[in-house]
Structure 1
Amino acid sequence: MRGLSRRRLLLLVFLFSAAGYVAVGYWLQVRHGFIYGDTLARVTAAQSVLFSRDPHLAAIGFIFTPLTALAQLPMQALSPLWPVIGERAFSGTLMSSVFMAGAVVQILGIGLDRGLPRGYALAITAIFALNPMIVLYGANGMSEAPFIFFMTWAVRRLIRWMVDDDVHHLIVAGGIAMGLAYLTRYDAVACIAAAGLLVGVATYRRARTPPRLRRALLDVVMASGPGTVAFVGWVGVSWLITGEGFAQFTSQYGNTAILAQSGQESTTFGAGLAFAVVCISLLAPTLVPIAGWAVVRRWGRPNWQVLLVPLAIYGAALAFQTLSYAAGSTFPFLRFYVIAVPLAACLAMLAVPDGVLVAAKRPGRHAPPPAPVEPVPRTRAPYVGVALLLAIGVPTTAWGMTLPDYAPQEYGLAAVVARDATDVTPRGAIERRIAASFSTERRIAEHLERLDLPDSSVITDTVFGFAVLAASKKPKMFVIPSDPDFTALLNDPSLGGIKYLLAVPPEGRGVSDALNLRYPTLYETGAEIATLELEIPNDGDSLPDWRLYRVLEPPPS
């Protein structure tokens, strides 16, 4: 490794990481069918943009932010040649693998920028890359991977800006990374605000001559302006197309509606905070001692301000999720706190003596004078101690992922990793149902394809129907809510040429299904517009039993 140039080392780390995450994703999703619903939903959104009855960009939807689905479009375009890309959500795996490998490179880059020994920088990077949550979400096609990448990219560039005042770092961090982060996850709005505050205060304090306030405001605009534009732009486009600026909170498909439909019990503010503390402790149990040691190492020394960057940016994301759950507006999911893992890794890079910092290409006028190189410790104890502290997070995270109260979306992984067909306990049965998720929807898609139906023959909502669409090789067969004639065909399916209605029970999330809203008795009786042809019990966990209704022929004119 010592003989490799910096660029080649980063490239090798990226390639090895991406290949590893792709392999895990293939093993989980293609070989074992362990697929997350949000992953399939994004795959379906990308598929609808390209292959629906009315292909158009707005079919990507406005509940999720768009970047994760947009990034899958080139890969989803190949799904007719290799159906696994859509059916098993492998395009999601390819997307998240690239982004998480990029995050691994950014963590390593923070260490190399500080001139740390390569062995130590690689050790911290490996501990981060092999954390079980990082591996899982680097492989499963969810939004965590791109969010972690953009946040870590922004943190790395802001750390360098703190040292050399190079405006180009500020442009990359605020103008690119933060803006794209918001188009990945709503959490980024807190990080954008934190970055603006941090940069504004830092510029104002180190500007030696007037007008200090104007310079601070200009830097705030560069740090937070593009993210703000992304926020306003996405709200505006959503409002123009759907009539809802904040569909995540006002739509029948958004988080607020899902919380109400799922019957989730409200939590007290204190219990919400306690839940967040436990989740962060499971993911990064030594975060506080590493942060404390980093403060002791740097307080009062040159460039001590670099510590504020990860604490402010990553901390804003953690605070946003903590307060959101404590206020009862989001779900009790361990994955929402996964940003604690790169926070701990970044602090581990800052908790040891710096070497020779990477040279600034264009230092700004307010760059502090170069800091003297710290003497190299006579022993490796500081490096080994911090690395061991960070490594404790790997087994604790693995253990935390087995706790259904904190990791309801991860604990079923045990049914794949350590399959035990003899486990007859209720937990074993639930784990097997989680592992079998969406197998029923794939069978439904295969059955409809065997009927050799023409286009526009089956109408379904995507509340649950997204999994059927993702598995189908004939997506034009389905009429879905993003089609402009969806409402007209739903109101009069027989005259519109609809042959089948794909229905779910009007309970839980099914109450928001457009077919149930239009025909409240459809699932039970056919609502006098259709006859029951097939009932399909679901093998998956927390997924509905389906009923396929044949539409009655219209009376002769």
Structure 2
Amino acid sequence: MRFTALTDSRVRWLAFAVAFIGYASVGYWLQVRHGFIIGDALARVAAAQSVLFSRSPHVAAIGFIFTPLTAAVQIPLVALAPLWPDAVARAFTGSLMSAVFMAGAVYQILGIGMDRGVPRGFTLTIAALFALNPMIIFYGSNGMSEAPFIFFIVWSARRLIMWMVDDDVHHLVVAGGVAMGLAYLTRYDAAAVIAAAGFLVAITTFARAAKSPRFKRALMDMVLVSGPGFLSFIGWAVASWLITGLAFAQFSSQYGNSAILAQEGGAPKSSMWDGIVYSVASFSLLAVTLAPLIGWAVVARWRRPGWPMLVAPLAIFGAVLAFQVYTFSKGATFPFLRYYIIAIPFAAAVTFFCVPNGPLRKPTRRGNYAVPEADPPQRPRRWAYLVPVLILAVCAPVAGFGMSSQKYAPQEYGLGALLASPDATGQRNLDQRRLAAAFSTEREIAAYLDRMQLPDGSILADPVYAFSIIVASRHPRMFVVPSDPDFVAILNDPTANKIRYMLAVPNKGRGTSDALNLRYPTLYETGGNVATLELEAPNDGKDQPVWRLYRVHEALPAS
């Protein structure tokens, strides 16, 4: 069968399969072969592991700092850890999670073009430029939350684009009831999308309805698209409050973003304007031609049939970028390039609007306020398709350049160490190599502890740093951690509770939130009068602590 004879659905699924294999292969090369692992990705694997293999396995052990979806979907893969321990120790289960969702994002990008009936060659080219963007490849393979977040946001945008023209209620059900609700369980940023979608749908319905009850219809559609996301927001907050006593642990916990910023000396001192400039520079590195593409799309679609379709991606993707710009300019988040990654699918989606519509996908149920389906028949010249492709294509090399910047891409620029000559020298190269060596020391400590063949509940540790040791251990049940119900009692009297060792990190920076340091402030320096230093392990990873293993004092014999 010729490729041109394949149905749109088969083309999308073929693209999904190819993308998944590609991203998973990159993940294996990055994380299993070279050990290049971002801490948050490994922490999510550790959260999934704690649900199944901790000393006190329970679902709430997944934690409430991160939203749960990225860790929860890894639980079936983590269950296979005894068959392939490195899949967990090197976060490859996270790579598989990212690969599935980023391949799904490629599927949805293709869907945006196919729904609008633009030529298949143009649609495939735009999807390929999205899929092969270096930033997309990296975050489609490293186990972070960016891949599922992009998938759910693009899925939401795709459905709302079509709802704007065919008024099919099924689009609102999928966009709001599924995609946005799950997006919030992936990243807190989705709250901005839920609000923007509700506002957009309410205004659109109110403007369309020529007769009363206009307000009730607008309210009903708004609840339909934003209600499930709002329930996700409330449900997650209530669950967190009932279990931890904190409704929004990410913002108020000693392990949350605000606490981390404070522990590391606070956000960089700058004005709100400086924060805005930094944010705009960040997403411009990822989609440098986004503004020209938006301008072209607006001019190309203005007052043509179905022109309101363009409003949906502007509102959905724009809400995410606006949220990130605002939170960073207020000093509430970190200067990470990945926070602006949504600019890449934004640019890809907008490019589809730079060319005329074709025959739109047939809706399941055309609504009362559907608008004309397609542009009048016309034969655009070839340049009308070529120029938008070339403009979008500029984004990929610029994004690759941005990823090499230590200022704008502190988590990505270490990739240069994997590509540099082995004999390369210089401070920059040393920093990159230390980034690439992250958690190698922790894996060695885990192997050392495993060889000791300790019984369950022998080592006291706080996953604030120790998650990287626990997840690399073949015997995670030997660790006593804060999610265990008896953790506080054991922490208060480790000797009586038969604790043999305590893992200690410096009582500074993020180490000030470590439960062991909170209970024994001098533990790292002196043993806190409860333990004696047995081992010190300098760390090969950048910004990682020098570990100390303390042997707990044995109980004195009764007199």
Shift of 1:424: 2.4
CA shift, 1:458, in A, is 0.5
Q: Deviations over 1:344-376 (max 9, x none)?
A: 000001111111111122101221243444412
TM-score, length basis structure 2: 0.98
SS in 2 for 1:550: strand
**SS of corresponding position for 2:210:** coil
Q: Could you report, residue by residue, the CA deviation over 1:494-537 in whole angstroms, capped at 9, with x for unpaired residues?
A: 11011000000001111111100000000000011111100000
Q: CA deviation at 1:274?
A: 0.3
**Moved segments of 4+, more than 4 Å:** none
Contact kept in structure 1, 2:501 and 2:551, CA below 8 Å: yes
Cα deviation code 1:429-470 (max 9, x no counterpart): 101100100000000000000001000000100111010011
2:323 match = 320
Once the 2 structures are TM-superposed, how far is the Cα of residue 419 of structure 1 from its aligned partner? 2.8
Taking the aligned partners of 1:283 and 1:493, their CA distance within structure 2 comes to 50
1:437 matched residue in structure 2: 438
Asked if 1 retains the 8 angstrom alpha-carbon contact of 2:360 and 2:374, the reply is no
Residue number in structure 2 paired with 1:450: 451
Listed one character per residue, the Cα deviations across residues 196-216 of structure 1 (whole Å, up to 9, x for unaligned) are: 000000011111221111000
Contact 1:503 1:547 in 2 (8 A): yes
Contact 1:353 1:376 in 2 (8 A): no
Q: C-alpha displacement at 1:5, in angstroms?
A: 1.2
Instruction: Tell me which residue corresponds to 2:401.
Output: 399
Conserved in 2, the CA contact under 8 Å of 1:353 and 1:374?
A: no
Question: Are the aligned partners of 2:304 and 2:375 in contact in 1 as well (CA < 8 Å)?
Answer: no
Residue 467 of structure 1 is matched in structure 2 by 468
Which residue of the partner structure matches residue 32 of structure 1?
A: 34
CA distance in 2, matches of 1:141, 1:234: 22
CA distance in 1, matches of 2:506, 2:56: 28
Measure the CA separation in 1 of the matches of 2:352 and 2:185.
28
| Correspondences of 1:306-345 after superposition (within 5 Å) | 306-345=309-348
Aligned-partner residue type, residue 80 of structure 1: P
Checking the alignment, whether the CA contact within 8 Å between 2:348 and 2:392 is kept in structure 1 is yes
Equivalent in the alignment of 1:59: 61
Equivalence for 2:421:
420
CA contact (8 A) 1:356 1:373 kept: no
In 1, distance between residues paired with 2:429 and 2:249? Answer: 37
Structure 2 counterpart SS, 1:139 = coil
Q: How does 1:171-250 map to 2 (within 5 A)?
A: 171-250=173-252
Is the 1:43–1:69 Cα contact (8 Å) retained in structure 2?
Answer: yes
1:127–1:371 Cα change, 3 Å: closer
Structure 1 residue aligned with 2:518: 517
Unaligned runs of 5+ in 1: none
Q: Which residue, out of 96, 100, 103, partners 1:101?
A: 103
Measure how far apart 1:267 and its partner are: 2.5
Tell me, what secondary structure is at the counterpart of 1:535?
A: strand
SS of equivalent to 2:474: coil
1:33-74, Cα deviation, whole Å (9 max, x unpaired): 000000010000000001101110100000000000001011
Secondary structure of the residue aligned to 1:471 is coil
Q: Which residue of 1 aligns with 2:360?
A: 357
Deviation per CA, 1:386-437, whole angstroms, max 9, x where unpaired? 0000000000000000011000000000001x13332221111101100100
Alpha-carbon shift at residue 266 of structure 1 (Å)? 2.7
User: 1:139 maps to what in 2?
Assistant: 141
Report which stretch shifted further, 360-369 or 335-344.
Answer: 360-369
Superposed, 1:12-51 pairs within 5 Å as 12-51=14-53
- TM alignment of 1:149-168, pairs within 5 A: 149-168=151-170
Count of residue pairs brought into register by the alignment:
555
Q: Distance in 2 between matches of 1:424 and 1:292?
A: 45
Distance of aligned partners of 1:483 and 1:384 in 2 relative to their CA distance in 1, 3 Å threshold:
same
Question: 1:341 Cα shift?
Answer: 0.2
Q: Distance in 1 between matches of 2:409 and 2:391?
A: 23
CA offset digits 1:67-103 (Å, max 9, x no partner):
0000101111111111112101001000010000000
TM-score (norm 1): 0.99
Contact in 1 for aligned 2:287/2:343 (Cα 8 Å): yes
What do the CA deviations read for 1:281-317 (whole angstroms, capped 9, x no partner)? Answer: 1100111111101000111112111111111011000
Say which SS state the counterpart of residue 531 (structure 1) adopts.
strand
Distance 1:480 1:160 in 2: 49
